[in-house]
A = this chain, B = another copy of it.
Amino acid sequence: MLRDVAPLQTATSEQLSFIDNRKYLTAFRNCGAGAILVHPSLVDEAPSSVCLLVTERPYRAYAVAAQAFYPERPPLPGISPDARIEPTAHIGDGARVEAFAVISAHVRIGRRCTIGPGSVIGAGCILGDDVRVGPHVSISHAIIGSRVRLYPGVRIGQDGFGFSPDPEGFVKVPQLGRVIVGDDVEIGANCTVDRGAGPDTVIGAGTMIDNLVQIGHNVQIGRNCVLVAQSGISGSTRLGDFVMIGGQAGLVGHLEIGDGARIGAKAGVPNNVAAGETVLGSPAVPIKQHHRQVAVLKRLAVKKVG
């Protein structure tokens, strides 16, 4: 009988664990779990006393199992007497609005949403069903899909960085667009997503965004993209579907990044990236070229010493 999930290092005989990274082989060999989800290639390394659940995708299997142990529940419905909600706003059935939240005029919030303490939803914003908004989130000029999660401190819909850099003084360009966030998107803590300047800023369904990511005005992100922490996308750049952006990577403005492209961690991307391509470095180049550059430089530096 398995009663819980646990990491390899601490799992006991009533717990399910998984291995997905060869760096943890030592912990795997000594693991006391009741059962371990494991890839076929690692079966030979397994401790003898443990039940193995062999699968091509152990991390996915673990995710599904852990969800079964820890199912997500809809929020306890209720509207705090300390929330301030404009009379023209509509809050769906089963929603929860916490203390000191501010819901402005003509906002529409779907069913079973949670609006965290102190969060501010600006006039006219629309949220789908089952949206989870953490504490201290601010949203304006935005349409948010269903099952979206906005982590604490997310900033959506403020003005983009738009001005004409005139020597006599900068002239601000009015920012007139919206932010459109698709279904099932997650946006990490303290991320910033600016409203469009004229067109909208768009984040496609299923896209996952880590903490402290910057999305400039007019950016269009496709479906099921992944943006790792502290990356930044400059204004008007467009990403296809299933694009992966590594941590601290940065893209200049007005680029086209094709479907399935992969931008490595810390890459600085000055040019378009074709569908399926992987780039790395700053300025970013195709990954093989990057590895050759790194290797060449290493050899040259060694030679100089000799």
Of B7, B163, B164, B189, the residue contacting A198 (CB under 8 A) is B7
Q: At the interface with chain B, which of A39-47, A107-115, A169-177?
A: A169-177
A87 on interface, CB distance cutoff 8 Å: no
A3 on interface, CB distance cutoff 8 Å: no
Of B99, B197, B248, B293, the residue contacting A248 (CB under 8 A) is B248
- Count of chain copies: 3
| A170-B224, A188-B192 as given contacts; A164 in contact with B60, CB under 8 Å | yes
The interface residues of chain B lying within 8 Å CB-to-CB of A230 are 214, 230, 232, 250
A130 on interface, CB distance cutoff 8 Å: no
User: Which DSSP category, helix, strand, loop or mixed, fits chain A's interface?
Assistant: loop
Say yes or no: B171 contacts A63, CB within 8 Å.
yes
- Considering only residues 123-142 of chain A, those with a C-beta below 8 Å from chain B are 134-136, 138
Say yes or no: B117 contacts A173, CB within 8 Å.
no
Nearest chain B CB to A93's CB is how many angstroms away? 24
Say yes or no: A174 contacts B296, CB within 8 Å.
no
Say yes or no: B300 contacts A282, CB within 8 Å.
no
Say yes or no: A155 contacts B211, CB within 8 Å.
yes
CA distance A189 to B60 in the complex (A): 35
Say yes or no: A294 contacts B305, CB within 8 Å.
no
A277 on interface, CB distance cutoff 8 Å: no
Given contacts A84-B99, A149-B159, A247-B252, 6 further A-B contacts (CB under 8 A): A62-B164, A64-B171, A136-B136, A136-B138, A152-B158, A214-B247
Closest 4 CB pairs of A and B: A60-B164, A292-B301, A155-B189, A7-B198
